Structure 1
Amino acid sequence: MKFNKNLENIKTYETGKPIELVVREFGIEPKDIIKLASNENPYGTSPKAVAAVSDIVTKMALYPDDSMIKLKNGLSKRFDVENENIIIGSGSDQVIEFLIHAKASSSSKILMNSITFAMYEIYAKHVGANIIKTASQEHDLDEFYALYKEEKPEIIFICTPNNPTGDALDAQKIYDFLKKIDSDTLVVIDGAYMEYAIAKDSSKEIAVKKLIEEFDNVVYLGTFSKAYGLGGMRVGYGVADHNIIKELYKLRPPFNITTLSLEAASVALSDEEFVKKSVTLNLEQMKRYEQFAKEQKIDIINSYTNFITFCLNSNQDSTKISNSLLKKGMIVRDLSSYNMNAIRVTIGTEEQNSRFFELVKQFL
């Protein structure tokens, strides 16, 4: 059977290994497994969101409200924008898919960082677009601009804070960069980890209202999978000029978000206390990782997220260390697929992090 030729050059995206698989492979009890691979919120979900979902489980037989009015109203209030500036996706990666299919084709060029969220490249390959990457590991906007001038891409992806490295750009530098980009080039600012960045350094905060009012070619992406603790509910969003959103709606399938997911996201959005507590605890535990790396003489990338990247030396092997940790019930992310001798570790609870330090000391 023949398939679309564009699929030939696409590698399947590798998610963090699920706990259930580790249980089957190594015979470890679920209670003894610690997953620090997928940047989930280790403190769970807002209790208010859990209660709200429990209250509406009887509505599962009905299609969800496809206008998504409750969630849109919440986001509209949060960012001081209109509902027509918002699109909801099954995770922010679905909005990325919409954007690429709306703007790009096989003759298009798409510019992104050398190491960044893998789905930009995967979706770009869906349409056969040409992928242009920077040479720098961390976002260098001067390099981005040079490549923009040379290559004339249709889409530019900027992930800040960046996944899987954790670095973040100052918001003012992004605004200055955007002023130099022509209005027909779509620029996507992926702020999946922005709640953590703002808590650590307010200069990293993207003012969403300012962004879409000043630049009608820019889309801001956010998600409920990280700070809001709703990874299993799959809710993300895009905010942009209404003309962009209108085109994206032509690609959005009906009922792309479940009734339970919409309710959970709407209530989680209003529980600012839970998010504040999550990011505060994350910062406290991040300091322990920074101190541990210093003591063990391991290089790290300064992180503005809920994870940290350990860059290993030539005597250490990220795959071997990841596999050794896995056999002990500790799941981390091996970054060898990004051509990095590094591991990415989600900042867990105090107890989970202590266990990580204990095991890594053994393997180092």
Structure 2
Amino acid sequence: MKFNKVLDNCKIYEAGKPIELVVREYGVDTKDIIKLASNENPYGTSPKVIEKIKELSKNMFMYPDDSMYELKEALATKYSVESQNIIVGAGSDQILDFLIKAKCDENSKILMAKTTFAMYEIYGRQTGCTILKTEDAMHNLEQFEQMYNEHKPDMVFLCLPNNPLGECLDREDVYNFLAKVDKETLVVVDCAYMEYASYKDAKKAIEPADLIEKFPNAVYLGTFSKAYALGGMRTGYGIGQVNLIKTLYKIRPPFNITTLSLAAAIEALKDEEFVNECIKLNFDEMKRYEEYAKRKEFSYIDSYTNFITMKFDNKYISSDVAQKLLERGVIVRDLTSYGVNAIRITIGTQKQNTRVFNILDEVLALLDKQENL
């Protein structure tokens, strides 16, 4: 059977390994597994959200409010925009899909950093468009500008902070770049981890209302999967000018998120105290990873997210480290497929991180021993 030829060049997105797989393949007890591969909030969901879900679980037979009125109003209040500026999706990656379908075809070009969120390229290739990447792995705006001027892409993706590496551009630099972009070019500013970046450094903070007022060709993406600890609920959103959002609604399927997802997101927005405490704990624990890397003489990327990228240079092979950790029940993300000899580790709880350091010590000692045989 023949299929659309553009799919020949599409890779399948590799999600972080689930706990169930590690139990099956390596015989590790579920209680001993530490999953630090998918950048989930290790402190779990707000207790207020859990109570709301219990309350509404009896209504699962009913379709959700397809207008998503209450959630859009809550987001509009939070970000000082109008509800008409907002579209909600099954994770912010569904909004990515809408945006690319709205703007691109086989004659289009999309510009992005060399190492960034894989779905930009995957969705782009599904339309048959040309993918352009900077030479540097991290966001280098000089290279972005040079390639933009040379190729005149239809879309530009900026991941702020960047997944899977963790770096983040300053708002002023981003705005200076956007000012040079033609108004017919759609710029996607993916801010899935912005809650973390703005907490760590106010110079990184991008406010959606300010962004779309200054740059009508830009769209802001946010998610409830990270700081708000609702990864399992798959709820994200896009914020842009009304005409752009109306266009995306032509692509959005009906009832694209669930009744419980809507309720969870609405309730999560009410518990900012919980979110802020999770973010504070995240950066407290991240310092321990930075100190560990320094002791081991690894380089790491200064992170504005809830994960850290440890680079091994010529000391170890990241796939070996990740595999040995996996066999011992620690799930991290090997970045070999991104062309980087590094692992990405979600920042866990204090107890989890202490165990990770101990197991990592064991793994590195084993690899050192094998190297010396």
**TM-score, normalisation: structure 1:** 0.99
Aligned to 1:351: 351
Unaligned runs of 5+ in 1: none
| Aligned residue-pair number | 364
Aligned to 2:50: 50
Deviation at 1:175, TM superposition (A): 1.0
Letter in 1 for 2:205: E
Tell me, in whole angstroms, the C-alpha distance in 2 between the residues paired with 1:285 and 1:307: 10
Deviation at 1:27, TM superposition (A): 1.3
Deviations 1:209-262 (A, max 9, x none): 111111110000000000000000000000000010000000000000100000
Q: Percent identity?
A: 57
Deviation at 1:319, TM superposition (A): 0.7
Aligned to 2:216: 216
Secondary structure of the residue that 1:62 maps to in structure 2?
A: coil
Deviation at 1:92, TM superposition (A): 0.2
Secondary structure of the residue that 2:187 maps to in structure 1?
A: strand
Aligned 1:198-347 pairs, distance under 5 A: 198-347=198-347
Deviations 1:9-43 (A, max 9, x none): 11110000000111111111110100000000000
Secondary structure of the residue that 2:198 maps to in structure 1?
A: helix
Tell me, in whole angstroms, the C-alpha distance in 1 between the residues paired with 2:25 and 2:70: 43
Tell me, in whole angstroms, the C-alpha distance in 1 between the residues paired with 2:362 and 2:329: 14
Aligned to 1:39: 39
Tell me, in whole angstroms, the C-alpha distance in 1 between the residues paired with 2:154 and 2:65: 34
Secondary structure of the residue that 2:231 maps to in structure 1?
A: coil
Aligned to 2:89: 89
Aligned 1:153-164 pairs, distance under 5 A: 153-164=153-164
Secondary structure of the residue that 2:233 maps to in structure 1?
A: coil
Deviations 1:58-97 (A, max 9, x none): 1111100000011101100000000000000000000000
Aligned to 2:79: 79
Aligned to 2:178: 178
Secondary structure of the residue that 2:128 maps to in structure 1?
A: coil
Deviation at 1:313, TM superposition (A): 2.1
Secondary structure of the residue that 1:81 maps to in structure 2?
A: coil
Tell me, in whole angstroms, the C-alpha distance in 2 between the residues paired with 1:40 and 1:210: 28
Tell me, in whole angstroms, the C-alpha distance in 1 between the residues paired with 2:47 and 2:315: 45
Aligned to 2:104: 104
Deviation at 1:284, TM superposition (A): 0.2
Tell me, in whole angstroms, the C-alpha distance in 2 between the residues paired with 1:35 and 1:64: 31
Tell me, in whole angstroms, the C-alpha distance in 1 between the residues paired with 2:259 and 2:112: 34
Tell me, in whole angstroms, the C-alpha distance in 2 between the residues paired with 1:167 and 1:295: 22
Aligned to 1:116: 116
Aligned to 1:10: 10
2:30 is the counterpart of 1:30: yes
Deviation at 1:315, TM superposition (A): 3.2
Letter in 1 for 2:286: M
Secondary structure of the residue that 1:56 maps to in structure 2?
A: helix
Greater shift in the superposed pair: 85-94 or 311-320: 311-320
Tell me, in whole angstroms, the C-alpha distance in 2 between the residues paired with 1:71 and 1:45: 18
Letter in 2 for 1:302: D
Query: Which consecutive aligned stretches of 4+ in structure 1 deviate over 4 angstroms post-superposition?
Result: none
Unaligned runs of 5+ in 2: 365-373
Tell me, in whole angstroms, the C-alpha distance in 2 between the residues paired with 1:346 and 1:224: 16
Tell me, in whole angstroms, the C-alpha distance in 2 between the residues paired with 1:144 and 1:341: 24
Tell me, in whole angstroms, the C-alpha distance in 1 between the residues paired with 2:192 and 2:276: 16
Deviations 1:173-207 (A, max 9, x none): 11111111111000000000000111111110002
Letter in 1 for 2:126: H
Q: What is the CA RMSD across the aligned residues, in angstroms?
A: 0.6
Secondary structure of the residue that 1:228 maps to in structure 2?
A: coil
Deviations 1:129-177 (A, max 9, x none): 0000000111011110111000000000000100000000001111111
Deviations 1:269-291 (A, max 9, x none): 11100100000000100100111
